[in-house]
Amino acid sequence: MVATFHVEHASRSSRIGTAALAVVCLVLAAAPAFAGRDDLRLLSEIFAYIALASLWNLLAGYAGLVSVGQQAYVGLGGYVLFASTILAGIHPLLAVALAGFVGAATALPVAGLLFRLRGHYFAIGTWVVAEVFRLIASQLSLLGGGSGISLPASIVIAMAGSRQMRELEMYWLALALALAVLGGIALVLRSRYGLALTAMRDNELAARSSGVNVRRIKLAIYIGTACATAMVGALIFLQKLRMSPDTAFSVNDWTAFVIFITVIGGVGRIEGPLIGTLLFFLLRQTLADLGSIYLLMLGCIAIAIMLFAPKGIWGVLAGRFGWQLLPLQRRLRFAAE
C-alpha cells in the first residue's frame, strides 16, 4: 500500500499571524490619512531597517554567510542613485531600480573573491570590501569626494507635483519595497530552495551529498541580497537627500544596528527582524540622545542574547508557544487510508 501525503505549510498560528499581518499592512498603507509628516518619515526608516535586517537574516541566518560588510551595498545603492540622477539625468525611481541592478552586477565578482574565504575570515573580508568601496567613493570628486554631496532640488521636484505628493510617493515606495523584500524572502523559504537552505544550515556536508548545489545557492542568495540591499540603500538616501562616504558606508548605521536588530529579534526566523526592528525603534525613541551609551547597551544586550537566548526573542516565543507569523513550516500529512 503506498501512503499518499502532502506537505502542509500553514498552521493555526500562522493563519492568525498572516491575517494580522495583512491588516497591519492595510493600516500602514492608509497611514498618510492620519499620520503626520514626521511619523511617516519614522515609519519609512522602520521599513528600511526591516528590509535590511530581513536581508541580513537571509544571508547569515539561512545561507550561513555572515557578513559585516553589507554597508557596501547600501552605500553603493546611494551612490548609484546620486550618480545616475545627477550625472545622467535618470528619473529617481528608475535610478532605484538601476541601483539594484548595479548591486547585483557588483556582487558577482565580489563573491568570486570573497567565497575563497571561509567563516570568520569571510566576515572580515566583507568588511574590507566595504572599506574599499568607501575609499573609492571618497576619491570620486564628481560625487563630492570625501565631504559628500546633496541631491539637487530639481531632481527631487521632478518626482511629483507637490511636496506632499512626493512624501506620499516615497512613503509608499518604502512600504512597497519592505513588503517586496519580505514577500520575496518568504517565497524563497517556501520553495525548495528554502528547504535546501535549511538543509545547508543544519549540515552542509550532508546537504551537498544529497545533491544540493551549495555553492550556487549561496551565490544566488548573496547576489539577490546585494541587489535588494542596494535598492533599499538608494531609497534611504533619496529620502535623506544628502550623502557622504562615511554616512553611506557607515558600519554603525547599516551593519551594527542591523545585526543587533536581527540577533535580538531572532536569527534564522523570518519573524526575528520584525520583532527586532520594532524593539530597536522603541528603545531608540525612549533612550533618544544617549549616543554612544545607547550603542554600548545594544552591544551588551546582543551579547547577552547570543549567550543565553541564542534564538532571540522570537525564537523563545516560538519555542514556547509554537507561534508562527507566516506559513513557512513543513509538516507531512498522510492521507488516512
Chain contacts with another protein (rule: CB under 8 A): 60, 64, 66, 68, 112-113, 116-117, 119-121, 123-125, 127-128, 131-132, 135-136, 138-139, 146, 251-252, 256, 259-260, 263, 267, 292-293, 295-296, 298-300, 302-303, 306-307, 310
Q: Which is nearer to another protein, 264 or 326 (CB)?
A: 264
Q: How far apart, in whole angstroms, are the C-alpha atoms of residue 261 and residue 46?
A: 11
Rounded to a whole number of angstroms, the minimum distance from the CB of residue 75 to another protein is 15
Task: Specify the pairing of strand 242-243 against strand 5-8.
Answer: unpaired
Q: DSSP assignment of 132-190, as one string?
A: HHHHHHHH-GGGTTTT-EE--HHHHHTT-SSHHHHHHHHHHHHHHHHHHHHHHHHHHHH
Q: Which is nearer to another protein, 282 or 293 (CB)?
A: 293
Rounded to a whole number of angstroms, the minimum distance from the CB of residue 197 to another protein is 15
Burial class (CB in 10 A: 0-12, 13-18, 19+), 33: exposed
Dihedral (Cα; 38, 43, 44, 46), 10-degree rounding? 130
Q: Which is nearer to another protein, 227 or 263 (CB)?
A: 263
Rounded to a whole number of angstroms, the minimum distance from the CB of residue 182 to another protein is 22
Rounded to a whole number of angstroms, the minimum distance from the CB of residue 159 to another protein is 34
Q: How far apart are the first and last CA of the chain?
A: 9
Number of neighbours of residue 211 by Cβ within 10 angstroms = 7
Q: Which is nearer to another protein, 178 or 298 (CB)?
A: 298
Residues found in the chain: 337
Q: Which is nearer to another protein, 256 or 283 (CB)?
A: 256
Rounded to a whole number of angstroms, the minimum distance from the CB of residue 294 to another protein is 8
Q: Which is nearer to another protein, 13 or 198 (CB)?
A: 198
Comparing C-alpha atoms, which of 100, 98, 77 is closest to residue 89? 98
Q: How far apart, in whole angstroms, are the C-alpha atoms of residue 203 and residue 194?
A: 14
Where on the phi/psi map is residue 326: left (φ > 0), alpha (ψ -120 to 50), or beta?
Answer: beta
Rounded to a whole number of angstroms, the minimum distance from the CB of residue 214 to another protein is 15
Comparing C-alpha atoms, which of 170, 171, 159, 160 is closest to residue 31? 171
Q: How far apart, in whole angstroms, are the C-alpha atoms of residue 50 and residue 260?
A: 12
Residues facing 121 on adjacent strands:
none
Q: How far apart, in whole angstroms, are the C-alpha atoms of residue 276 and residue 296?
A: 17
Rounded to a whole number of angstroms, the minimum distance from the CB of residue 138 to another protein is 7
Rounded to a whole number of angstroms, the minimum distance from the CB of residue 317 to another protein is 20
Q: Which is nearer to another protein, 129 or 235 (CB)?
A: 129
Rounded to a whole number of angstroms, the minimum distance from the CB of residue 251 to another protein is 7
Q: Which is nearer to another protein, 263 or 326 (CB)?
A: 263
Comparing C-alpha atoms, which of 139, 170, 146 is closest to residue 156? 170
Distance of CA 337 to the CA centre of its chain: 45
Q: Which is nearer to another protein, 4 or 139 (CB)?
A: 139
